[in-house]
Amino acid sequence: MIKNDTWITQMAAQGMISPFEPSLVRSIQPEPAGSSRPVISFGLSSYGYDIRLSPSEFRIFRHIPGTVVDPKNFNPDNLEPTRLYTDVNGSYFILPAHSYGLGVALERLEVPDNITVVCIGKSTYARCGIIANLTPAEAAWRGHLTLEFSNSSSADCRIYANEGVVQLLFLEGEPCEVSYETRRGKYQDQPELVTLARV
């Protein structure tokens, strides 16, 4: 069963999402106080939660002649850190046309042991050609999600930090025998940094 806003709010109070925004935010008041600025929405929705992209790090895959990306022996040189820009519209990273990048969620999750979280793309980015890879956070997973984005368009695209970037859906199931924590999953307790492929 997919969980609703009431349940998400109750679980956030117990530490499931931190920091937690109890409503859907569509504009923010800049410092010092001035007129509000529109943002790509984040926070609580009817049956999900829109998390934000952290400004801490964003990496883009680059081609290194003579190398092949190997998930069993990942070469961090294949990922190039990219600069965080800021203008009147906010802070953002640039994901070049036809490229793939990794960012990290601003919010930290502590998933209950009878819940699996599915991460899906937001329509605002989808309409710009940005595809968020569909990834799960399994029962009893903790940490900051590493987020994967593909720019399928022929134009460079901004991806805004501190604004909504993907939506989380919380799916309840029968209690599992072995949770992600119990099996000591390799991506447990990820920090607010891009976590590379591990075996």
Q: Mind telling me the catalytic residues?
A: 148
DSSP string, 5-34: HHHHHHHHHTTSEES--SSEEEEE-PSSS-
Tokens of 33: 């106080």
- What gap in Å lies between CA 147 and CA 135, rounded to an integer? 8
Residue 70 one-letter amino acid: D
Residue whose entry in the numeric block shows the structure tokens 């799960």: 136
Q: Which helix (H) or strand (E) holds 124?
A: helix 123-126
The sign of the CA dihedral 30, 34, 39, 43 is: positive
